[in-house]
């Protein structure tokens, strides 16, 4: 009964960690496409084909349900995969919807028409590919009206985090927040639209100020996944062993992942 978690790099480990703490007995198979990271600068077709290959690999590991713990893949590939490719006995879920449900104070599965919500001004921080896809705005429009979203493309932040350069990552975050605040001086909420960004959540919060509520995805996705599996226990696949696999250099990725999560992580090569 394994669930697959996929990301182009290490950011999805924040989701894996939250899921593990929420459901410690659930085997998790994590795949990082580190050889092709970052996805945030790739075009939609490229992201689609890379994501499709990764999902198929996780199905081979006995994961009937795969979480795309990558905002770029969720934005650029998920809808296309759901509409034309995923077989009826498999599920692939993204990371946008749990976050938007929290922002709009909706319960899972609430498909009522869009309505006005308390939050009117939202800052979105994401990769260039996620920003250009406008997937967040599209999903939000299904649930809420009258919300102004200002998106800020945060180039360089993912690379700095994966390289362990926290000084550069902090400088870039503060620069991107300043750029957004020039366009939207008084956001009520901020969305960290990349699973790498929880590592820098305190910096985002400090740069935005205490009046801005910062939404991060890892815990929200973990709670939504637990709810989903309670209602769909048949989607727990046949896999029995937790594992970490990568398209990159397994030894190097293991060192980076151990630093990233601050606990021992060992990857195998796909």
CA-only gyration radius of the chain, Å: 18
Q: Read off φ and ψ for residue 223, nearest 5 degrees.
A: -65, -40
- Mean pLDDT for the chain? 91
Options 194, 207, 212, 257, the catalytic residue: 194
Residue 142 is given by DSSP the state T
3-state class of 248 per DSSP? coil
Mean pLDDT of 33-44: 89
pLDDT score of 127: 87
Domain 3-96+218-269, classified CATH 3.40.50.1860, yes or no: yes
Give residue limits of the domains in the chain.
Answer: 3-96+218-269, 105-216
Which residue is listed with tokens 């151990």?
258
End-to-end CA distance of the chain: 20
Q: Is 70 annotated in the active site? A: yes
Using pLDDT thresholds of 50, 70 and 90, give the confidence band for residue 1: low
Cα separations in angstroms, 2 against 7, 61, 69: 17, 8, 16
Options 70, 126, 129, 221, the catalytic residue: 70
Residue 269 is given by DSSP the state E
Residue predicted with more confidence, 113 or 204: 204
d(CA 181, CA 161): 23
Q: Residue 235 above 70 pLDDT?
A: yes
Q: Residue 107 above 80 pLDDT?
A: no
**Residue 23 region, left (φ>0) first, then alpha (ψ -120 to 50), else beta?**
beta
Lowest mean pLDDT among 1-15, 54-68, 106-120, 149-163: 106-120
Using pLDDT thresholds of 50, 70 and 90, give the confidence band for residue 157: very high
Using pLDDT thresholds of 50, 70 and 90, give the confidence band for residue 23: very high
DSSP letters spanning 89-121: T-EEE-SHHHHHHHHTT--TT--PPPEE-S--E
d(CA 254, CA 190): 31
Using pLDDT thresholds of 50, 70 and 90, give the confidence band for residue 96: confident
Q: Residue 133 above 90 pLDDT?
A: no
Please count the helices (runs of H) and the strands (runs of E) in the chain: 12, 12
Reported in sequence order, the residue ranges of 175-238 that DSSP labels E, i.e. its strands, are: 189-193, 213-215
Q: Tell whether omega for the bond before 74 is within 30 degrees of 0, i.e. cis.
A: no
pLDDT score of 33: 96
Question: pLDDT digit string (tens) for 163-217?
Answer: 889 999 999 999 999 999 999 999 999 999 888 898 899 999 999 999 999 998 8
Among candidates 40, 121, 65, 98, which has minimal Cα distance to 238? Answer: 65
CATH number of 105-216: 3.40.50.1860
Mean pLDDT of 62-68: 94
User: Do 262 and 87 form a contact (C-beta atoms < 8 A)?
Assistant: no
Global pTM value: 0.85
CA 144 to chain centre: 21
pLDDT score of 109: 63
pLDDT score of 261: 86
Same fold, 3-96+218-269 and 105-216: yes
Q: Residue 135 above 70 pLDDT?
A: yes
Q: Is 154 annotated in the active site? A: no
Among candidates 189, 217, 215, which has minimal Cα distance to 68? Answer: 217
């Amino acid at each position: 009964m394994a669930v697959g978690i996929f990301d182009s790099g290490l950011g999805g480990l924040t989701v894996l960690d939250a899921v593990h703490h929420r459901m410690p007995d659930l085997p998790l198979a994590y795949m990082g496409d580190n050889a092709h990271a970052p996805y945030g600068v790739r075009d939609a077709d490229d992201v689609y084909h890379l994501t499709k290959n990764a999902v198929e690999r996780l199905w081979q590991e006995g994961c009937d349900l795969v979480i795309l713990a990558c905002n770029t893949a969720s934005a650029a590939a998920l809808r296309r995969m759901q509409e034309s490719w995923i077989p009826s006995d498999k599920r692939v879920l993204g990371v946008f919807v749990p976050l938007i449900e929290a922002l709009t104070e909706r319960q899972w599965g609430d498909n009522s028409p869009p309505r006005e919500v308390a939050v009117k001004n939202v800052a979105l921080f994401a990769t260039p590919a996620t920003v250009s896809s406008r997937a967040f705005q599209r999903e939000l429009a299904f649930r809420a009206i009258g919300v102004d979203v200002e998106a800020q493309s945060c180039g360089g932040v993912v690379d700095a985090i994966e390289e362990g350069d926290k000084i550069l990552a902090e400088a870039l975050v503060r620069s991107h927040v300043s750029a957004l605040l020039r366009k939207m001086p008084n956001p009520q909420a901020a969305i960290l639209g990349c699973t790498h960004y929880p590592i820098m959540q305190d910096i985002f919060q400090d740069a935005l100020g205490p009046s801005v509520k910062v939404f991060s995805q890892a815990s929200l996705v973990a709670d939504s996944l637990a709810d989903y599996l309670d209602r769909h226990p048949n989607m727990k696949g046949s896999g029995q062993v937790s594992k970490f696999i990568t398209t990159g250099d397994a030894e190097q990725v293991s060192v980076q992942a151990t630093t990233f999560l601050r606990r021992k992580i060992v990857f195998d090569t796909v």
